[in-house]
Amino acid sequence: MKIVVILVAVAGLVSPVLAQAFPGDFAFLRDIDPTIIQDIRYATSNNFMGRPIAGYGAAECVVKRDVGLRLKAVQQELARQSLSLKMFDCYRPARAVADMVAWSRNGKETAGERRYNPAFSKADLFRLGYIATHSGHSTGAALDLTLVDLRADNSRKFDPARDYADCTAPVAERAPEGSVDMGTGYDCSDAKGHTAAGAITPAQRRWRNLLVAAMARQGFANYSKEWWHFSLPGGGGVAYDFPITRAP
């Protein structure tokens, strides 16, 4: 009887640890570098679907450990310029991708959703290459991110009750993101969101070039249709579907 009690007690002690164990050398980014700002939008209603997406049980950036260490190196370089990375999305469970696919095909489109793709229907997002049915995010090797100027006033917050302009509008009119002005908002499915888009200001281009260059020095490649999307070539592989939970 004592043995059974001891085993139950030990199981109670280790189960929280086991619950946080990740496959494939994944880790919470905050455990690698807590200075990197996180705004994991798919765990909130502030995204193109207007609600938390399947698999995002917590607003946590989860990455492969090697990816996290490279991000830490980028952050250390940026810190010398009073800048910081801000993570919008990291590992994405496969169930979240399936949720996005189902959403794109539901035949409905609200004004809030159209803010993210003002030039075409959401049913075309996959065909045009803005969302993938098999995402590199699910391998833990792809990231969505931006830059924050730590010297600037980043206090303006998203108000879900406000009717913002679409993601291509001037920064003062579109939804606030507490980051530098890259010319469009995050997840803006539009030609203006393409990294080399011509319809942006010189200052916006400098910010984009700075981000791309800093990430490239640690081996990350940018996706040409999304200034915010980066991946580690050869760092992919298996697509995972474990849910994102809160860091211990």
pLDDT at 21 > cutoff 90: no
Q: Whole-angstrom Cα distance, residue 71 to residue 181?
A: 21
Residue type, 52: P
| pLDDT over 60 at 13, yes or no | no
How many beta carbons lie within 10 A of that of residue 238, not counting itself? 10
The predicted structure's pLDDT at residue 122: 87
pLDDT of residue 7: 31
- DSSP letter at 193 equals G
**235 confidence band (pLDDT: 50, 70, 90):** low
pLDDT tens track for 130-170: 877 788 899 998 999 999 999 999 999 999 889 999 999 99
DSSP string, 99-143: HHHHHHTSS---HHHHTS-TTS-GGGTTTTTSS-SS-GGGGT-EE
3-state SS, residue 97: helix
pTM value is: 0.88
Q: Once rounded to an integer, what is the mean pLDDT over residues 107-125?
A: 88
Q: What band does 111 get if pLDDT is binned at 50, 70 and 90?
A: confident
Query: Which carries the bigger pLDDT value, residue 212 or residue 13?
Result: 212
The string of pLDDT tens digits covering residues 181-190 is 999 999 999 9
State pLDDT tens for residues 32-43: 999 999 999 999
> Residue 236's pLDDT band (boundaries 50, 70, 90)?
low
Domain 25-231, CATH class in plain words: alpha beta
* Greater pLDDT, 237 or 118: 118
Assign 15 a pLDDT band (cuts: 50, 70, 90). Answer: very low
